[in-house]
Structure 1
Protein backbone atom coordinates (compact mmCIF):
# COMPACT_ATOMS: atom_id res chain seq x y z
CA UNK A 1 0.00 0.00 0.00
CA UNK A 2 1.13 3.53 -0.81
CA UNK A 3 0.09 6.64 1.10
CA UNK A 4 -0.74 10.08 -0.23
CA UNK A 5 -0.83 13.15 1.98
CA UNK A 6 -3.68 15.55 1.25
CA UNK A 7 -3.83 19.18 2.33
CA UNK A 8 -5.82 21.86 0.53
CA UNK A 9 -7.23 25.33 1.01
CA UNK A 10 -4.62 26.31 3.55
CA UNK A 11 -2.01 29.07 3.47
CA UNK A 12 -0.04 28.89 0.24
CA UNK A 13 3.27 29.27 2.10
CA UNK A 14 2.59 26.01 3.99
CA UNK A 15 2.79 23.68 1.00
CA UNK A 16 6.57 23.52 0.58
CA UNK A 17 7.35 22.72 4.24
CA UNK A 18 4.48 20.23 4.31
CA UNK A 19 5.81 18.49 1.20
CA UNK A 20 9.25 18.21 2.77
CA UNK A 21 7.75 16.85 6.00
CA UNK A 22 5.59 14.31 4.13
CA UNK A 23 8.60 13.10 2.17
CA UNK A 24 10.69 12.72 5.33
CA UNK A 25 7.86 10.84 7.05
CA UNK A 26 7.59 8.23 4.29
CA UNK A 27 4.57 9.23 2.24
CA UNK A 28 4.66 8.26 -1.44
CA UNK A 29 2.87 11.30 -2.80
CA UNK A 30 1.02 14.50 -2.08
CA UNK A 31 -2.16 15.79 -3.70
CA UNK A 32 -2.37 19.26 -5.26
CA UNK A 33 -5.85 20.78 -5.48
CA UNK A 34 -7.11 22.68 -8.51
CA UNK A 35 -9.35 25.75 -8.64
CA UNK A 36 -9.40 28.40 -11.33
CA UNK A 37 -11.94 31.06 -10.41
CA UNK A 38 -14.54 31.95 -7.81
CA UNK A 39 -17.53 33.67 -9.47
CA UNK A 40 -19.42 36.37 -7.63
CA UNK A 41 -22.74 34.72 -8.51
CA UNK A 42 -23.39 31.04 -9.17
CA UNK A 43 -26.19 28.51 -8.83
CA UNK A 44 -23.78 25.57 -9.23
CA UNK A 45 -23.56 22.91 -6.56
CA UNK A 46 -20.51 21.03 -5.32
CA UNK A 47 -21.05 17.27 -5.77
CA UNK A 48 -18.83 16.05 -2.92
CA UNK A 49 -20.37 17.76 0.11
CA UNK A 50 -23.73 17.08 1.77
CA UNK A 51 -25.08 20.60 1.26
CA UNK A 52 -23.69 21.22 -2.22
CA UNK A 53 -22.66 24.79 -1.34
CA UNK A 54 -19.40 26.24 -2.60
CA UNK A 55 -18.94 29.19 -0.24
CA UNK A 56 -16.04 27.42 1.48
CA UNK A 57 -13.96 28.19 -1.64
CA UNK A 58 -14.21 31.97 -1.36
CA UNK A 59 -10.88 33.71 -0.64
CA UNK A 60 -9.00 30.40 -0.32
CA UNK A 61 -5.41 30.57 -1.57
CA UNK A 62 -5.18 28.38 -4.66
CA UNK A 63 -1.87 28.51 -6.49
CA UNK A 64 -2.09 27.32 -10.10
CA UNK A 65 -1.85 23.55 -9.91
CA UNK A 66 0.95 22.84 -12.37
CA UNK A 67 3.00 25.75 -11.07
CA UNK A 68 2.66 24.45 -7.51
CA UNK A 69 3.63 20.91 -8.59
CA UNK A 70 6.79 22.35 -10.12
CA UNK A 71 7.61 24.36 -7.01
CA UNK A 72 7.09 21.41 -4.67
CA UNK A 73 9.10 19.07 -6.87
CA UNK A 74 12.00 21.53 -6.67
CA UNK A 75 12.13 21.34 -2.86
CA UNK A 76 11.82 17.53 -2.62
CA UNK A 77 13.57 14.54 -4.15
CA UNK A 78 11.31 11.46 -3.89
CA UNK A 79 7.73 12.62 -3.27
CA UNK A 80 5.28 12.28 -6.17
CA UNK A 81 2.75 15.06 -6.83
CA UNK A 82 -0.77 14.29 -7.93
CA UNK A 83 -3.23 16.98 -9.07
CA UNK A 84 -6.50 16.08 -7.39
CA UNK A 85 -7.84 16.64 -9.94
CA UNK A 86 -6.79 18.92 -12.79
CA UNK A 87 -9.85 20.36 -14.52
CA UNK A 88 -8.73 19.05 -17.87
CA UNK A 89 -11.38 19.91 -20.49
CA UNK A 90 -11.30 23.65 -19.74
CA UNK A 91 -7.56 23.78 -20.54
CA UNK A 92 -5.80 23.54 -23.93
CA UNK A 93 -4.56 19.92 -24.01
CA UNK A 94 -1.39 20.67 -25.98
CA UNK A 95 -0.37 23.17 -23.29
CA UNK A 96 -1.22 20.70 -20.49
CA UNK A 97 0.91 18.08 -22.24
CA UNK A 98 3.83 20.50 -22.36
CA UNK A 99 3.40 21.40 -18.68
CA UNK A 100 3.08 17.77 -17.59
CA UNK A 101 6.07 16.63 -19.63
CA UNK A 102 8.18 19.46 -18.26
CA UNK A 103 7.27 18.68 -14.65
CA UNK A 104 7.90 14.97 -15.14
CA UNK A 105 11.25 15.64 -16.81
CA UNK A 106 12.47 18.11 -14.18
CA UNK A 107 11.26 16.04 -11.23
CA UNK A 108 12.55 12.66 -12.35
CA UNK A 109 9.10 11.31 -13.25
CA UNK A 110 7.40 12.36 -10.02
CA UNK A 111 4.07 13.42 -11.51
CA UNK A 112 0.88 11.38 -11.31
CA UNK A 113 -1.52 13.38 -13.45
CA UNK A 114 -4.96 13.29 -11.84
CA UNK A 115 -7.56 14.65 -14.27
CA UNK A 116 -11.29 15.15 -14.32
CA UNK A 117 -14.21 17.31 -15.36
CA UNK A 118 -14.89 20.55 -13.55
CA UNK A 119 -18.34 20.55 -11.89
CA UNK A 120 -18.58 24.32 -12.46
CA UNK A 121 -20.09 25.64 -15.71
CA UNK A 122 -18.45 28.94 -14.73
CA UNK A 123 -14.99 27.42 -15.27
CA UNK A 124 -15.91 26.52 -18.83
CA UNK A 125 -17.43 29.93 -19.45
CA UNK A 126 -14.41 31.77 -18.06
CA UNK A 127 -12.06 29.72 -20.24
CA UNK A 128 -14.18 30.08 -23.37
CA UNK A 129 -14.96 26.35 -23.62
CA UNK A 130 -18.46 24.91 -24.20
CA UNK A 131 -20.01 23.07 -21.26
CA UNK A 132 -21.79 20.67 -23.59
CA UNK A 133 -20.11 17.35 -24.50
CA UNK A 134 -17.44 17.90 -21.89
CA UNK A 135 -17.00 14.15 -21.38
CA UNK A 136 -16.11 13.54 -25.02
CA UNK A 137 -13.84 16.57 -24.91
CA UNK A 138 -12.07 15.08 -21.91
CA UNK A 139 -11.54 11.81 -23.76
CA UNK A 140 -9.84 13.68 -26.59
CA UNK A 141 -7.72 15.66 -24.14
CA UNK A 142 -6.47 12.43 -22.55
CA UNK A 143 -5.64 10.98 -25.97
CA UNK A 144 -3.61 14.09 -26.77
CA UNK A 145 -1.82 14.03 -23.43
CA UNK A 146 -0.93 10.39 -23.95
CA UNK A 147 0.24 10.98 -27.50
CA UNK A 148 2.35 14.07 -26.92
CA UNK A 149 4.08 12.78 -23.79
CA UNK A 150 5.19 9.57 -25.50
CA UNK A 151 6.60 8.91 -28.97
CA UNK A 152 3.99 7.54 -31.37
CA UNK A 153 6.16 6.99 -34.44
CA UNK A 154 9.84 6.45 -35.10
CA UNK A 155 10.54 10.18 -35.19
CA UNK A 156 8.53 10.93 -32.05
CA UNK A 157 5.82 12.96 -33.81
CA UNK A 158 2.15 12.83 -32.87
CA UNK A 159 -0.81 14.26 -34.75
CA UNK A 160 -4.50 14.29 -33.89
CA UNK A 161 -7.77 14.63 -35.77
CA UNK A 162 -10.79 14.56 -33.47
CA UNK A 163 -14.15 16.24 -33.07
CA UNK A 164 -12.82 19.04 -30.85
CA UNK A 165 -9.08 19.11 -31.51
CA UNK A 166 -7.06 18.68 -34.65
CA UNK A 167 -3.40 19.32 -35.41
CA UNK A 168 -0.74 17.90 -37.75
CA UNK A 169 2.11 15.72 -36.45
CA UNK A 170 4.31 17.57 -33.95
CA UNK A 171 6.60 16.83 -31.06
CA UNK A 172 7.49 18.40 -27.72
CA UNK A 173 10.96 18.24 -26.22
CA UNK A 174 12.14 17.24 -23.68
CA UNK A 175 9.90 14.23 -23.20
CA UNK A 176 9.55 12.35 -19.93
CA UNK A 177 11.83 9.35 -19.61
CA UNK A 178 8.87 7.29 -18.32
CA UNK A 179 5.14 7.38 -19.15
CA UNK A 180 3.14 9.84 -17.05
CA UNK A 181 0.39 7.98 -15.15
CA UNK A 182 -2.99 9.49 -16.00
CA UNK A 183 -5.43 9.03 -13.10
CA UNK A 184 -9.09 9.80 -13.78
CA UNK A 185 -11.27 11.24 -11.02
CA UNK A 186 -15.05 11.16 -10.67
CA UNK A 187 -17.85 8.99 -9.31
CA UNK A 188 -20.17 8.85 -12.31
CA UNK A 189 -20.28 5.64 -14.27
CA UNK A 190 -18.80 7.43 -17.27
CA UNK A 191 -15.84 8.56 -15.15
CA UNK A 192 -15.18 5.02 -13.91
CA UNK A 193 -15.26 3.70 -17.45
CA UNK A 194 -13.02 6.54 -18.64
CA UNK A 195 -10.50 5.61 -15.94
CA UNK A 196 -10.38 2.06 -17.31
CA UNK A 197 -10.49 2.85 -21.02
CA UNK A 198 -8.31 5.96 -21.09
CA UNK A 199 -6.42 6.11 -17.82
CA UNK A 200 -3.87 4.32 -15.70
CA UNK A 201 -5.97 4.51 -12.56
CA UNK A 202 -8.95 5.99 -10.72
CA UNK A 203 -9.15 8.65 -7.99
CA UNK A 204 -11.95 8.61 -5.43
CA UNK A 205 -13.16 11.98 -4.14
CA UNK A 206 -14.57 10.86 -0.80
CA UNK A 207 -17.90 9.78 0.63
CA UNK A 208 -19.28 7.19 3.03
CA UNK A 209 -18.12 3.59 3.26
CA UNK A 210 -21.19 2.15 1.55
CA UNK A 211 -20.74 4.41 -1.46
CA UNK A 212 -17.05 3.51 -1.70
CA UNK A 213 -17.95 -0.18 -1.66
CA UNK A 214 -20.35 0.40 -4.54
CA UNK A 215 -17.79 2.38 -6.53
CA UNK A 216 -15.03 -0.20 -6.06
CA UNK A 217 -17.40 -3.00 -7.07
CA UNK A 218 -18.50 -1.09 -10.14
CA UNK A 219 -14.91 -0.26 -11.08
CA UNK A 220 -13.98 -3.94 -10.84
CA UNK A 221 -17.02 -4.84 -12.95
CA UNK A 222 -16.06 -2.34 -15.65
CA UNK A 223 -12.50 -3.63 -15.68
CA UNK A 224 -13.84 -7.14 -16.29
CA UNK A 225 -16.15 -5.88 -19.04
CA UNK A 226 -13.27 -4.08 -20.74
CA UNK A 227 -10.91 -7.04 -20.37
CA UNK A 228 -8.53 -4.96 -18.25
CA UNK A 229 -6.07 -7.21 -16.44
CA UNK A 230 -3.34 -4.66 -15.71
CA UNK A 231 -1.41 -5.29 -12.51
CA UNK A 232 -0.31 -1.66 -12.29
CA UNK A 233 -3.77 -0.04 -12.47
CA UNK A 234 -3.87 2.49 -9.62
CA UNK A 235 -6.85 2.91 -7.27
CA UNK A 236 -6.62 5.95 -4.95
CA UNK A 237 -9.28 6.24 -2.25
CA UNK A 238 -10.31 8.31 0.75
CA UNK A 239 -11.60 6.07 3.54
CA UNK A 240 -11.79 5.97 7.33
CA UNK A 241 -10.32 2.48 7.03
CA UNK A 242 -7.03 4.13 6.09
CA UNK A 243 -6.60 5.32 9.69
CA UNK A 244 -6.36 1.80 11.10
CA UNK A 245 -3.78 -0.88 10.17
CA UNK A 246 -6.44 -3.56 9.83
CA UNK A 247 -8.54 -1.17 7.76
CA UNK A 248 -5.63 -0.57 5.42
CA UNK A 249 -5.34 -4.31 4.89
CA UNK A 250 -9.07 -4.49 4.09
CA UNK A 251 -8.67 -1.76 1.50
CA UNK A 252 -5.71 -3.57 -0.03
CA UNK A 253 -7.79 -6.74 -0.32
CA UNK A 254 -10.36 -4.74 -2.31
CA UNK A 255 -7.78 -3.65 -4.85
CA UNK A 256 -6.90 -0.25 -3.41
CA UNK A 257 -3.29 0.73 -4.17
CA UNK A 258 -3.10 4.21 -2.62
CA UNK A 259 -4.71 5.66 0.51
CA UNK A 260 -5.30 9.42 0.43
CA UNK A 261 -5.18 10.77 3.98
CA UNK A 262 -5.73 14.19 5.50
CA UNK A 263 -6.14 15.39 9.03
CA UNK A 264 -8.78 18.11 8.92
CA UNK A 265 -12.01 18.88 7.07
CA UNK A 266 -11.09 21.44 4.39
CA UNK A 267 -14.68 22.35 3.48
CA UNK A 268 -14.99 25.20 5.99
CA UNK A 269 -15.77 28.85 5.41
CA UNK A 270 -13.03 31.29 6.25
CA UNK A 271 -9.28 30.80 6.61
CA UNK A 272 -7.56 27.68 7.87
CA UNK A 273 -6.37 28.57 11.36
CA UNK A 274 -4.44 25.37 12.10
CA UNK A 275 -0.74 26.18 12.61
CA UNK A 276 1.87 24.65 10.32
CA UNK A 277 3.52 22.90 13.28
CA UNK A 278 0.26 21.11 14.11
CA UNK A 279 -0.14 19.94 10.52
CA UNK A 280 3.35 18.47 10.53
CA UNK A 281 2.64 16.81 13.86
CA UNK A 282 -0.49 15.16 12.43
CA UNK A 283 1.21 13.77 9.33
CA UNK A 284 4.20 12.51 11.31
CA UNK A 285 2.00 10.77 13.89
CA UNK A 286 0.08 8.99 11.12
CA UNK A 287 3.34 7.85 9.55
CA UNK A 288 4.53 6.45 12.87
CA UNK A 289 1.24 4.70 13.69
CA UNK A 290 0.18 3.47 10.24
CA UNK A 291 2.74 3.81 7.44
CA UNK A 292 5.59 2.30 9.45
CA UNK A 293 3.42 -0.74 10.26
CA UNK A 294 1.72 -1.48 6.94
CA UNK A 295 3.54 0.53 4.27
Structure 2
Protein backbone atom coordinates (compact mmCIF):
# COMPACT_ATOMS: atom_id res chain seq x y z
CA UNK A 1 0.00 0.00 0.00
CA UNK A 2 1.13 3.53 -0.79
CA UNK A 3 0.10 6.59 1.18
CA UNK A 4 -0.66 10.14 0.08
CA UNK A 5 -1.09 13.12 2.36
CA UNK A 6 -3.79 15.67 1.49
CA UNK A 7 -3.78 19.16 2.95
CA UNK A 8 -5.80 21.63 0.95
CA UNK A 9 -6.85 25.19 1.59
CA UNK A 10 -4.28 26.01 4.25
CA UNK A 11 -1.66 28.78 4.39
CA UNK A 12 0.49 28.74 1.26
CA UNK A 13 3.65 29.05 3.33
CA UNK A 14 2.92 25.76 5.09
CA UNK A 15 3.26 23.55 2.03
CA UNK A 16 7.06 23.30 1.89
CA UNK A 17 7.55 22.21 5.53
CA UNK A 18 4.55 19.91 5.25
CA UNK A 19 5.99 18.24 2.14
CA UNK A 20 9.31 17.73 3.90
CA UNK A 21 7.58 16.18 6.92
CA UNK A 22 5.50 13.93 4.66
CA UNK A 23 8.61 12.70 2.87
CA UNK A 24 10.46 12.07 6.13
CA UNK A 25 7.51 10.13 7.57
CA UNK A 26 7.37 7.49 4.82
CA UNK A 27 4.50 8.69 2.65
CA UNK A 28 4.80 8.10 -1.09
CA UNK A 29 2.96 11.17 -2.27
CA UNK A 30 1.33 14.47 -1.44
CA UNK A 31 -1.75 15.67 -3.28
CA UNK A 32 -1.95 19.19 -4.71
CA UNK A 33 -5.35 20.89 -4.91
CA UNK A 34 -6.27 22.83 -8.05
CA UNK A 35 -8.30 26.03 -8.23
CA UNK A 36 -8.08 28.81 -10.80
CA UNK A 37 -10.75 31.34 -9.78
CA UNK A 38 -13.44 32.07 -7.22
CA UNK A 39 -16.39 33.91 -8.79
CA UNK A 40 -18.09 36.56 -6.69
CA UNK A 41 -21.54 35.46 -7.90
CA UNK A 42 -22.40 31.84 -8.68
CA UNK A 43 -25.26 29.39 -8.32
CA UNK A 44 -22.98 26.38 -8.89
CA UNK A 45 -22.88 23.58 -6.34
CA UNK A 46 -19.88 21.66 -5.05
CA UNK A 47 -20.56 17.97 -5.77
CA UNK A 48 -18.61 16.43 -2.87
CA UNK A 49 -20.30 18.05 0.15
CA UNK A 50 -23.77 17.30 1.49
CA UNK A 51 -25.08 20.83 0.99
CA UNK A 52 -23.29 21.72 -2.25
CA UNK A 53 -21.98 24.86 -0.53
CA UNK A 54 -18.80 26.31 -2.01
CA UNK A 55 -18.30 29.27 0.32
CA UNK A 56 -15.55 27.41 2.17
CA UNK A 57 -13.35 28.31 -0.81
CA UNK A 58 -13.73 32.06 -0.30
CA UNK A 59 -10.39 33.68 0.52
CA UNK A 60 -8.45 30.41 0.49
CA UNK A 61 -4.87 30.56 -0.79
CA UNK A 62 -4.31 28.47 -3.92
CA UNK A 63 -0.89 28.62 -5.54
CA UNK A 64 -1.18 27.63 -9.21
CA UNK A 65 -0.86 23.85 -9.28
CA UNK A 66 2.22 23.39 -11.46
CA UNK A 67 4.04 26.27 -9.78
CA UNK A 68 3.41 24.75 -6.35
CA UNK A 69 4.61 21.37 -7.62
CA UNK A 70 7.86 22.93 -8.85
CA UNK A 71 8.32 24.63 -5.47
CA UNK A 72 7.78 21.41 -3.53
CA UNK A 73 9.90 19.28 -5.83
CA UNK A 74 12.76 21.70 -5.13
CA UNK A 75 12.60 21.09 -1.37
CA UNK A 76 12.14 17.29 -1.49
CA UNK A 77 14.04 14.45 -3.11
CA UNK A 78 11.79 11.36 -3.21
CA UNK A 79 8.25 12.60 -2.67
CA UNK A 80 5.76 12.18 -5.50
CA UNK A 81 3.29 15.01 -6.11
CA UNK A 82 -0.18 14.34 -7.49
CA UNK A 83 -2.55 17.13 -8.57
CA UNK A 84 -5.91 16.14 -7.12
CA UNK A 85 -7.22 16.87 -9.64
CA UNK A 86 -6.09 19.28 -12.35
CA UNK A 87 -9.08 20.81 -14.16
CA UNK A 88 -7.84 19.65 -17.51
CA UNK A 89 -10.35 20.77 -20.18
CA UNK A 90 -10.29 24.45 -19.11
CA UNK A 91 -6.57 24.53 -20.02
CA UNK A 92 -4.73 24.35 -23.37
CA UNK A 93 -3.60 20.70 -23.55
CA UNK A 94 -0.32 21.44 -25.37
CA UNK A 95 0.68 23.79 -22.57
CA UNK A 96 -0.34 21.25 -19.91
CA UNK A 97 1.78 18.61 -21.66
CA UNK A 98 4.78 20.95 -21.64
CA UNK A 99 4.31 21.85 -17.98
CA UNK A 100 3.82 18.25 -16.86
CA UNK A 101 6.72 16.92 -18.96
CA UNK A 102 9.02 19.61 -17.60
CA UNK A 103 8.06 18.82 -14.00
CA UNK A 104 8.50 15.10 -14.54
CA UNK A 105 11.91 15.60 -16.15
CA UNK A 106 13.25 18.00 -13.52
CA UNK A 107 11.91 16.02 -10.56
CA UNK A 108 13.23 12.64 -11.64
CA UNK A 109 9.80 11.31 -12.62
CA UNK A 110 8.00 12.19 -9.40
CA UNK A 111 4.80 13.54 -10.95
CA UNK A 112 1.55 11.64 -10.97
CA UNK A 113 -0.92 13.70 -13.00
CA UNK A 114 -4.44 13.57 -11.62
CA UNK A 115 -6.92 15.15 -14.04
CA UNK A 116 -10.64 15.73 -14.10
CA UNK A 117 -13.52 17.94 -15.13
CA UNK A 118 -14.27 21.14 -13.27
CA UNK A 119 -17.79 21.02 -11.79
CA UNK A 120 -18.26 24.76 -12.31
CA UNK A 121 -19.24 26.52 -15.55
CA UNK A 122 -17.54 29.66 -14.23
CA UNK A 123 -14.12 28.02 -14.61
CA UNK A 124 -14.80 27.38 -18.28
CA UNK A 125 -16.19 30.88 -18.84
CA UNK A 126 -13.20 32.54 -17.18
CA UNK A 127 -10.80 30.56 -19.37
CA UNK A 128 -12.78 31.14 -22.57
CA UNK A 129 -13.67 27.47 -23.04
CA UNK A 130 -17.21 26.24 -23.83
CA UNK A 131 -18.94 24.30 -21.04
CA UNK A 132 -20.86 22.16 -23.54
CA UNK A 133 -19.38 18.79 -24.51
CA UNK A 134 -16.70 19.12 -21.87
CA UNK A 135 -16.39 15.35 -21.50
CA UNK A 136 -15.47 14.90 -25.15
CA UNK A 137 -13.07 17.84 -24.87
CA UNK A 138 -11.51 16.14 -21.85
CA UNK A 139 -10.99 12.94 -23.86
CA UNK A 140 -9.18 14.85 -26.59
CA UNK A 141 -7.01 16.62 -24.01
CA UNK A 142 -5.97 13.25 -22.60
CA UNK A 143 -5.13 11.95 -26.07
CA UNK A 144 -2.92 15.00 -26.66
CA UNK A 145 -1.16 14.59 -23.31
CA UNK A 146 -0.46 10.97 -24.16
CA UNK A 147 0.97 11.88 -27.52
CA UNK A 148 3.15 14.74 -26.33
CA UNK A 149 4.38 13.09 -23.11
CA UNK A 150 5.66 9.88 -24.62
CA UNK A 151 8.74 8.91 -22.62
CA UNK A 152 12.07 8.29 -24.27
CA UNK A 153 15.59 9.49 -24.79
CA UNK A 154 14.55 11.23 -28.01
CA UNK A 155 11.33 13.31 -28.21
CA UNK A 156 8.90 12.11 -30.86
CA UNK A 157 6.82 14.18 -33.26
CA UNK A 158 3.07 14.17 -32.70
CA UNK A 159 0.08 15.54 -34.59
CA UNK A 160 -3.59 15.45 -33.79
CA UNK A 161 -6.89 16.10 -35.55
CA UNK A 162 -10.00 16.01 -33.38
CA UNK A 163 -13.31 17.79 -32.99
CA UNK A 164 -11.90 20.44 -30.67
CA UNK A 165 -8.16 20.44 -31.29
CA UNK A 166 -5.97 20.28 -34.37
CA UNK A 167 -2.21 20.14 -33.86
CA UNK A 168 0.37 20.15 -36.62
CA UNK A 169 3.26 17.76 -36.18
CA UNK A 170 5.47 18.96 -33.33
CA UNK A 171 7.69 17.80 -30.53
CA UNK A 172 8.39 19.02 -27.02
CA UNK A 173 11.85 18.60 -25.57
CA UNK A 174 12.88 17.27 -23.10
CA UNK A 175 10.52 14.33 -22.93
CA UNK A 176 9.86 12.57 -19.63
CA UNK A 177 12.28 9.69 -19.16
CA UNK A 178 9.44 7.56 -17.73
CA UNK A 179 5.72 7.45 -18.32
CA UNK A 180 3.77 10.13 -16.43
CA UNK A 181 0.79 8.31 -14.85
CA UNK A 182 -2.53 9.89 -15.84
CA UNK A 183 -5.04 9.39 -13.02
CA UNK A 184 -8.68 10.24 -13.71
CA UNK A 185 -10.88 11.77 -11.02
CA UNK A 186 -14.65 11.72 -10.77
CA UNK A 187 -17.52 9.57 -9.51
CA UNK A 188 -19.78 9.44 -12.55
CA UNK A 189 -20.02 6.36 -14.71
CA UNK A 190 -18.41 8.34 -17.54
CA UNK A 191 -15.46 9.25 -15.31
CA UNK A 192 -14.93 5.64 -14.21
CA UNK A 193 -15.03 4.43 -17.80
CA UNK A 194 -12.66 7.22 -18.86
CA UNK A 195 -10.23 6.09 -16.14
CA UNK A 196 -10.26 2.57 -17.56
CA UNK A 197 -10.16 3.46 -21.25
CA UNK A 198 -7.74 6.38 -21.17
CA UNK A 199 -6.11 6.49 -17.74
CA UNK A 200 -3.52 4.75 -15.64
CA UNK A 201 -5.76 4.82 -12.60
CA UNK A 202 -8.69 6.39 -10.77
CA UNK A 203 -8.86 8.97 -7.97
CA UNK A 204 -11.73 8.93 -5.49
CA UNK A 205 -12.88 12.30 -4.12
CA UNK A 206 -14.39 11.11 -0.84
CA UNK A 207 -17.73 9.99 0.55
CA UNK A 208 -19.03 7.32 2.89
CA UNK A 209 -17.86 3.72 2.89
CA UNK A 210 -20.98 2.37 1.23
CA UNK A 211 -20.60 4.77 -1.67
CA UNK A 212 -16.92 3.90 -2.02
CA UNK A 213 -17.77 0.20 -2.19
CA UNK A 214 -20.33 0.93 -4.89
CA UNK A 215 -17.78 2.89 -6.91
CA UNK A 216 -15.11 0.20 -6.54
CA UNK A 217 -17.60 -2.46 -7.63
CA UNK A 218 -18.65 -0.40 -10.64
CA UNK A 219 -15.02 0.29 -11.54
CA UNK A 220 -14.32 -3.45 -11.46
CA UNK A 221 -17.36 -4.09 -13.67
CA UNK A 222 -16.21 -1.54 -16.22
CA UNK A 223 -12.70 -2.98 -16.23
CA UNK A 224 -14.15 -6.42 -16.95
CA UNK A 225 -16.36 -5.01 -19.72
CA UNK A 226 -13.36 -3.29 -21.29
CA UNK A 227 -11.12 -6.35 -20.97
CA UNK A 228 -8.72 -4.46 -18.69
CA UNK A 229 -6.36 -6.93 -17.03
CA UNK A 230 -3.75 -4.46 -15.77
CA UNK A 231 -2.31 -5.18 -12.35
CA UNK A 232 -1.78 -2.71 -9.48
CA UNK A 233 1.57 -1.61 -10.88
CA UNK A 234 -0.16 -0.47 -14.07
CA UNK A 235 -3.56 0.74 -12.81
CA UNK A 236 -3.62 2.77 -9.60
CA UNK A 237 -6.68 3.20 -7.37
CA UNK A 238 -6.43 6.15 -4.96
CA UNK A 239 -9.16 6.43 -2.31
CA UNK A 240 -10.22 8.42 0.73
CA UNK A 241 -11.58 6.14 3.45
CA UNK A 242 -11.91 5.95 7.22
CA UNK A 243 -10.44 2.46 6.85
CA UNK A 244 -7.10 4.12 6.07
CA UNK A 245 -6.66 5.07 9.74
CA UNK A 246 -6.21 1.54 11.11
CA UNK A 247 -3.91 -1.29 10.11
CA UNK A 248 -6.86 -3.68 9.80
CA UNK A 249 -8.68 -1.14 7.67
CA UNK A 250 -5.71 -0.88 5.33
CA UNK A 251 -5.87 -4.64 4.85
CA UNK A 252 -9.56 -4.35 3.92
CA UNK A 253 -8.75 -1.69 1.35
CA UNK A 254 -5.94 -3.80 -0.10
CA UNK A 255 -8.39 -6.71 -0.45
CA UNK A 256 -10.64 -4.38 -2.48
CA UNK A 257 -7.82 -3.57 -4.90
CA UNK A 258 -6.89 -0.15 -3.52
CA UNK A 259 -3.26 0.79 -4.22
CA UNK A 260 -3.06 4.25 -2.61
CA UNK A 261 -4.69 5.71 0.50
CA UNK A 262 -5.23 9.47 0.61
CA UNK A 263 -5.22 10.68 4.21
CA UNK A 264 -5.67 14.01 5.94
CA UNK A 265 -6.17 15.05 9.52
CA UNK A 266 -8.70 17.87 9.45
CA UNK A 267 -11.93 18.71 7.65
CA UNK A 268 -11.00 21.19 4.88
CA UNK A 269 -14.56 22.27 4.07
CA UNK A 270 -14.73 25.04 6.65
CA UNK A 271 -15.40 28.73 6.12
CA UNK A 272 -12.66 31.13 7.06
CA UNK A 273 -8.93 30.61 7.49
CA UNK A 274 -7.30 27.40 8.66
CA UNK A 275 -6.46 27.98 12.33
CA UNK A 276 -4.58 24.73 12.95
CA UNK A 277 -0.91 25.46 13.72
CA UNK A 278 1.78 24.09 11.43
CA UNK A 279 3.34 22.21 14.36
CA UNK A 280 0.07 20.34 14.93
CA UNK A 281 -0.16 19.38 11.28
CA UNK A 282 3.39 18.01 11.31
CA UNK A 283 2.69 16.07 14.51
CA UNK A 284 -0.31 14.38 12.87
CA UNK A 285 1.79 13.52 9.81
CA UNK A 286 4.52 11.98 11.95
CA UNK A 287 2.12 10.04 14.18
CA UNK A 288 0.39 8.46 11.20
CA UNK A 289 3.78 7.54 9.75
CA UNK A 290 4.78 5.83 12.98
CA UNK A 291 1.46 4.17 13.83
CA UNK A 292 0.21 3.14 10.39
CA UNK A 293 2.74 3.43 7.56
CA UNK A 294 5.63 1.87 9.46
CA UNK A 295 3.44 -1.04 10.60
CA UNK A 296 1.89 -1.66 7.18
CA UNK A 297 5.09 -1.34 5.14
CA UNK A 298 7.71 -2.07 7.79
State whether TM-score is above 0.5.
yes
For residues 120-155 of structure 1, the C-alpha deviation after alignment (integer angstroms, 9 at most, x for no partner) is 100000000000000000000000001001169x97
- What's the offset of the Cα at 1:247? 0.4
Cα 1:172–1:245, aligned 2, differ >3 Å: closer, same or farther? same
Task: Work out whether residues 151 and 158 of structure 1, in 8 Å CA contact, stay in contact via their aligned partners in 2.
Answer: no
| Pair 1:114 & 2:114 matched | yes
Tell me the equivalent position of 2:181: 181
Give the count of matched residue pairs.
294
Q: 1:281 aligns with which of 280, 283, 288?
A: 283
- Write the distance in 2 (CA, Å) between the matches of 1:156 and 1:205: 34
- Write the distance in 1 (CA, Å) between the matches of 2:124 and 2:277: 35
Ranges of 4+ aligned residues in structure 1 off by more than 2 Å: none
- Write the distance in 1 (CA, Å) between the matches of 2:114 and 2:155: 28
What is the RMSD computed on CA atoms of the aligned residues? 1.0
For residues 71-125 of structure 1, the C-alpha deviation after alignment (integer angstroms, 9 at most, x for no partner) is 1001000000000000000000000000000000000000000000000100000
Tell me the equivalent position of 2:248: 246
- What's the offset of the Cα at 1:168? 1.1
- Write the distance in 2 (CA, Å) between the matches of 1:252 and 1:127: 40
- Write the distance in 1 (CA, Å) between the matches of 2:179 and 2:159: 18
| Pair 1:266 & 2:265 matched | no
Give the alignment's TM-score, normalised by structure 1.
0.98
SS at match of 1:259: strand
Task: Work out whether residues 184 and 194 of structure 1, in 8 Å CA contact, stay in contact via their aligned partners in 2.
Answer: yes
Give the alignment's TM-score, normalised by structure 2.
0.98
For residues 204-247 of structure 1, the C-alpha deviation after alignment (integer angstroms, 9 at most, x for no partner) is 00000000000000000000000001112000000000001000
Task: Work out whether residues 150 and 175 of structure 1, in 8 Å CA contact, stay in contact via their aligned partners in 2.
Answer: yes
- What's the offset of the Cα at 1:264? 0.1
Tell me the equivalent position of 1:72: 72
Task: Work out whether residues 155 and 172 of structure 2, in 8 Å CA contact, stay in contact via their aligned partners in 1.
Answer: no
- Write the distance in 2 (CA, Å) between the matches of 1:40 and 1:46: 15
- Write the distance in 2 (CA, Å) between the matches of 1:293 and 1:221: 32
SS at match of 1:241: helix
